Structure 1
Amino acid sequence: MRPSQLKKFQEQQAKFAKGIGKRVERITTLWQTIQTNKTSTHGELDELVLEAHKLAGTATTLGFVDLGERGRDIEVLLKPSLEGQENPWPNTDMDALIATIDDVARIEPKRPEDLTYGEVTLLHEQGRTKQLVYVLADDLSNTQEMVEQLQYLEYDVLSFDATDDLKEALSKEAPSVLIVDINECDLLSKVTKVWRKNSGIPLVVLSSTECWKSRLLAAKAGAFAFFHKPIEYDDILSVLDSLWETHNAQYRVLIVEDEQILAEHYSIVLQGAGMKTLIVDDPEHLLDELGEFSPDLVLMDLYMPNCSGVEAASVIRQHSSHTNVPIVYLSGETDLKLQMKALQVGADDFLTKPINDLHLTQAVSIRAKRFRQLSALMDRDSLTGLLNHSNLKVALDRELSRARRHKSPLSFVMIDIDHFKSVNDRYGHPVGDKVIKGVARLLNYRFRKTDTCARYGGEEFALILPDTPADIALRLIDEFRITFAKTPFSNGPDTFYATLSAGVATFPEFDSIESIIEAADSSLYMAKEKGRNRVVTHVELDANKKNHA
């Protein structure tokens, strides 16, 4: 474990250890009640099995392995009684388990380094928000235009014309991607001596030939992508977009678990892997949190007081807006028949407690990624990958509700490419599509994960900026406008530039979907009237109306 994880894990162990006495006392008291009052014990029996189940999952996860096994033994012994197959008394095995549970509770937990938890990548500890790109070429003048394109999009680019220099740079810092421009295959052979397939650094090859031999050599070298020169830089940027999305995806996981300390542990592990989490300890609040948090996956305990995981999943599936969100049970239940029965209700998978930290993060990220991909096909614009028009309104409604609840500002931005018809008329629609994708790409790079970018239609875009007042939004959008105006676009040998205009409206001045969209659109119209290539806020719009009143 990394130092930050180790500290949090030790804090959780200490917190759990303080409450062990009460847990053991509760289990012992419940068993004594069952033995004393043999005519009416169903409620106590239910509670005892639940307490043992929670003890088994939480104790084992936090390193109290012996205590966890004792909880599991109690649960297994009492389940036949709970299902009406046999009476819980007399039960000498249970008596023996209860008699020794206090002694087992005193056994020291395993140290974190002795557990089987795998190393989890802490994305937030990497400390770098930009992608670092290394470019190697025999002749760096051949890559100058590409490097400038990447730098305009705020990539950090380092160029090399010798593999020895590349080797030294690789030893100091690993880039997000390595691009090699080759005229002769010898350079690729030299690269493979200083770069390894298993380094985790994707290799992109640009080649002057596209014969089978060249492509095969690149494939054998472990190239992630291969391009024949002269290249369309938009194709390279699309590859980098894909890598960026893979490396920076912040999946949202809703954890439904009544055992608070266990929920906190899962939350810390998933957050350590770069995910965003929210804990719900009472299923009664589940639907509200689903609507506001919009998770990529629900991680849910199977056994909870007042409501089982199966019942909670049934309620979730009653709502059409939550039909596709993955539900994964995380439980100590090992009976395959019961697992399959639970999955029939609408859940997608079953993970068994205790679970290795690395296994948990991998299982969650794989399912969340698949959900994102499927959602993108339905909810996103096919050209840009941004949210489409109808889903923008859903997102805006959600963010406005959150802003009202927290009494925080929210800015909504309408953006339009200036003279876009002229671009299409002069260069053709394929080049116009490049410009549209250029705006989308820059939106993704320049704004936060908590911001929402969308293609409103045609050459129009929209942006939702939570917790952002009008003056801050104005500065951010103006910086975005200036950067875009400096971004070159190619049409064969020709290079051209485009500009854009934007209008900003802010909550609480406008507190409905209709009013804030109308105000932003009116501000955009005013920016167009004033000469384009500028940003206008509703404040300037209102002042202009008063002057003409």
Structure 2
Amino acid sequence: MRPSQVKKFQEQQAKFASSVAKRTERIKTLWNKIQSQTSSEFCELEELVMEAHKLAGTATTLGFVDLGECGREIEVLLKPHIESQTLPAAIDDIDRLIAGIDDIAKIEPKRPDDFTFGEVTLLHEKDRTKQLVYVVAENPDDVSEMVKQLQYIDYEVILLETATQLKDALYNKAPSVLIVDLNDFQLLDDITRVWRKNSGIPLVVLSKTECWESRLHAAKAGAYTFFHKPVEYDDILGLLDSLWETNNAQYRVLIVEDDRTLAEHYSIVLQGAGMKTSIVDNPHQLLDELGEFHPDLVLMDLYMPECSGVEAASVIRQHASNTNVPIVYLSGETDLKLQMKALQVGADDFLTKPINDLHLTQAVSIRARRFRALSAMMDRDSLTGLLNHSNLKMALERELSRARRHKSPVSFVMIDIDYFKSINDKYGHPVGDKVIKGVARLLNYRFRKTDTSARYGGEEFALILPDTPADIALRLIDEIRITFAKTPFSNGPETFTATLSAGIATFPEFDSTESIIEAADSSLYLAKERGRNRVITHVELGERHDSQEKNTA
């Protein structure tokens, strides 16, 4: 664990320890009521099983292993009585467990250092503004054009010539990807002595030969992928886009768990792996939080006081917008039949408590990634990977709704490639597609995870920038415009550049989906009217209208 995680874990242990006496006293009280046979109802028995279940899951997760096992044993011994609807008479094993529960609770928990699960980290550190790429080539001239392409897109590229230089560079800072340009395989052999396969740094091999032996050599060296030279730079950029998306993905996980301490622990673990989390400890808030948070996955306890996880999952699935969101139960339930029954009602998987942190992060990230991929097929433009037109409007409606509640600004941007028809006519549609993907790449790479990029249609794009007033949006989009104008595109040996025009409109000046789109579109039209390759905001649009009215008067 990192020092910050250790501190938080210790705080959670202390918080749980302070609640243990209350939990164990409740278990003893319930057992005494059941033994006195003062009620023919089974509510006390059901509550006791629930308390034991919660104790087992939370205690074990937070390192109170003996106390967790005690809770699990009580739960296992009492469950048959729940199923048979019979009140238990004196049970020696339960009497023994409950009589000794206070002593068990005094056993020191495991320290954070005693947990053997590993770290889950992302290749991109939060404070790094550019994706770092190392390129190793014996002949730098062979890769100069590729390096320029990467730098135009705003990658940080360090060009190296030998394995020794790479060793020194790796010692100072780890890159997001390592690209090796080969004339022969001696360089690759030298590099594999200083670069470790398990380092988490993908190795990309560029080779002038593509025979089976060459590809096998690269595979044995641990290469992530292999390109035969000459390489289409768009293919390299596409690969980096894919790596960026995979490694920089911030999955959103909604944790539904009535035990706040346990929920906070899961939250810290998942946040430590680069995910964003939100906690719901009252199922009544579940639908509101789903609409606000838009999770990639719902991690839900199976047993909660007011409703079961199965019932909550059923309510979630009643809404068409939540049909495909993965729901994963996280519970101490070990009965396979009950697990299968729970999965029949709209859930996707079942994880059993206690679960170590590495397993939890891997299980969640795998399922969230799969959901993202499925959503991308349905909701995103196939060429660019950006949100498509219809889903853009829904995203804009949600963002405007949020902005009204929080009284925060939202900027909406329309972007158009200048003279795109001429590019298609001169170079052909495949090259035109490269230019479209070039814009998408900039929008994907340059903006925050909270921003939304979309292909509006043809050569038009749109951006939703939450918490961004018009003046800030103008500066951001103008930087994109300037960068794109310097980006070369290739058509065989020939290279060319293209430019962008953009229009910006902002909430609350425009407070509906229709009005803000119309204002941004009008601002874009004005930018084209004034000569293209520029950005216009609704402020200038208003000034133009005022001027026209004065002239008319």
TM-score bin, normalised by smaller chain: over 0.9
Q: Please give the alpha-carbon distance, in whole angstroms, between the structure 2 residues aligned to 1:422 and 1:153.
A: 23
Q: Match of 2:164?
A: 164
- AA in 2 matched with 1:258: D
The alpha carbon displacement at 1:266 in A equals: 0.2
- Please report how far the alpha carbon of residue 236 of structure 1 lies from its aligned counterpart in structure 2 after TM superposition: 0.4
Check 1:39–1:15 CA distance in 2 against 1; reply closer, same or farther (3 A cut).
Answer: closer
Match of 2:247 in 1: 247
How far off is 1:467 after superposition?
Answer: 0.7
- Write out aligned runs for 1:143-154 (5 A): 143-154=143-154
Q: CA deviation at 1:170?
A: 1.9
Q: Partners of 1:131 and 1:415 in 2: how far apart?
A: 24
User: In the alignment, does 2:229 pair up with 1:229?
Assistant: yes
The AA in structure 1 aligned to 2:357 is D
Question: Which residue in the other structure is 1:19 paired with?
Answer: 19
Q: Give how far 1:85 is off.
A: 4.8
For 1:451, the equivalent position in structure 2 comes to 451
Instruction: Provide the C-alpha distance between the structure 1 equivalents of 2:122 and 2:220, rounded to a whole number of angstroms.
Output: 31
Q: Aligned to 2:12, what secondary structure does the other structure show?
A: helix
Change (3 A) 1:77 1:212: closer
Task: Compute the displacement of 1:528 (Å).
Answer: 0.8
CA deviations on 1:243-281 (whole Å, 9 max, x unpaired) are 111110110101000100000000000000000001011
Deviations 1:102-140 (A, max 9, x none): 111111111111234332326786632422111111210
1: CA distance, partners of 2:355 / 2:312: 22
User: In 2, Cα distance between the equivalents of 1:216 and 1:16?
Assistant: 54
Alignment partner, residue 506 of structure 1? 506
Distance, in Å, in 1 between the alignment partners of 2:473 and 2:118 is 42
C-alpha separation between the residues in 2 aligned to 1:319 and 1:207?
A: 52
> Does 2:180 align with 1:185?
no
Q: Is the contact made by 1:122 and 1:272 (CA closer than 8 Å) also made in structure 2?
A: no
- Contact kept? 2:302, 2:331, Cα under 8 Å: yes
Distance of aligned partners of 1:439 and 1:538 in 2 relative to their CA distance in 1, 3 Å threshold: same
Relative distance call for 1:187 and 1:90 in structure 2 (3 A) is closer
**Cα distance, 1:391 vs. partner?**
0.8
Partner of 1:65: 65
Offset at 1:299?
A: 0.3
Give RMSD over aligned pairs: 1.4
CA distance in 2, matches of 1:168, 1:284: 56
Match of 1:32 in 2: 32
Residue 124 of structure 1 contacts residue 274 of structure 1 at CA under 8 Å; is this kept in 2?
A: no
Structure-1 separation of matches of 2:266 and 2:318? 27
After the TM superposition, which residues 13-412 of structure 1 pair with which residues of structure 2 at under 5 Å, given as runs? Answer: 13-121=13-121, 127-412=127-412
Q: Deviations over 1:332-359 (max 9, x none)?
A: 0011110111011111110000100000
Contact residue 489 and residue 495 of structure 1 kept, 8 A? yes
CA deviation digits over 1:120-174, x for unaligned, max 9? 3267866324221111112101111111111111111111122221222122222
- Secondary structure of the 1:505 match is strand
Offset from partner CA, 1:470-526 (integer Å, 9 cap, x none): 111111111111111111111111111111011111111111111111111111111
How many angstroms apart in 1 are the aligned matches of 2:397 and 2:511? 10
Report SS of the residue matched to 2:89: coil
1:292 alignment partner AA: E
Please report how far the alpha carbon of residue 434 of structure 1 lies from its aligned counterpart in structure 2 after TM superposition: 0.4
Q: What is the distance in 1 between the residues matched to 2:520 and 2:309? A: 44
1:425 and 2:425 matched: yes
1:47 aligned counterpart, secondary structure = helix
Contact 2:42 2:87 in 1 (8 A): no
Q: Distance in 1 between matches of 2:304 and 2:279?
A: 14
How far apart are residue 84 of structure 1 and its match? 2.8
Please give the alpha-carbon distance, in whole angstroms, between the structure 2 residues aligned to 1:73 and 1:323: 37
Distance in structure 2 (CA, Å) of the matches to 1:42 and 1:304:
17
- Deviation of 1:203 after TM superposition, in Å, equals 1.5
CA distance in 2, matches of 1:196, 1:494: 38
TM-score of the aligned structures, taking structure 1 as reference length: 0.97
User: Structure 2: which amino acid aligns with 1:110?
Assistant: K
Check 1:13–1:124 CA distance in 2 against 1; reply closer, same or farther (3 A cut).
Answer: farther
Counterpart Cα distance in 1 of 2:297 and 2:3? 28
Pick closer, same or farther for the CA change 1:123–1:429 going to 2, 3 Å. Answer: closer
Greater alpha carbon shift after TM alignment, 416-425 vs 175-184? 175-184
The one-letter amino acid paired with 2:324 is: N
Q: Which amino acid aligns with 2:433?
A: D
Indicate the residue corresponding to 1:471 in structure 2: 471
CA distance in 2, matches of 1:409, 1:135: 41
Q: Are 1:496 and 2:499 counterparts?
A: no
Counterpart contact for 2:124–2:248, Cα < 8 Å: no
Looking at structure 1, the residues matched to 61 and 337 of structure 2 have their Cα atoms a distance apart, in angstroms, of 24
Instruction: Give the equivalent residue in structure 1 for 2:536.
Output: 536
Instruction: State whether residues 34 and 41 of structure 1, in contact with CA within 8 Å, keep that contact through their aligned partners in structure 2.
Output: no
Secondary structure of 1:231's counterpart equals coil
Partner Cα separation in structure 2 for residue 464 and residue 346 of structure 1: 32
Structure 1: segments with no counterpart, 5+ residues: none
For the structure 1 residues 82 and 276, does the alpha-carbon distance in structure 2 shift closer, same or farther, using more than 3 Å as the test?
same
Q: Please say which of residues 240-249 and 204-213 is displaced more in the overlay.
A: 204-213
Identity of aligned residues (%): 79
Count of residues in Structure 1 that have an aligned counterpart in Structure 2: 549
**Partner SS for 1:450:** coil
Contact 1:123 1:273 in 2 (8 A): no
CA distance, structure 1, for counterparts of residue 193 and residue 41 of structure 2: 72
How many Å separate the matches in 2 of 1:188 and 1:20? Answer: 58
The alpha carbon displacement at 1:194 in A equals 2.5
Q: Distance in 2 between matches of 1:226 and 1:67?
A: 53
1:356-385 alpha-carbon deviations (Å, 9 max, x no partner): 000000000000001111111111100000
Deviation at 1:30, TM superposition (A): 1.7
Aligned mates of 2:90, 2:138 — CA distance in 1: 84
Amino acid at match of 2:306: N
User: Given that residues 124 and 272 in structure 1 are in contact (C-alpha distance below 8 angstroms), is that contact kept between their aligned partners in structure 2?
Assistant: no
Q: CA deviation at 1:96?
A: 2.0
More displaced 10-residue stretch of structure 1: 120-129 or 259-268: 120-129
Unaligned runs of 5+ in 2: none
Structure 1 residues 122 and 157 mapped into 2: Cα distance closer, same or farther (>3 Å)?
Answer: closer
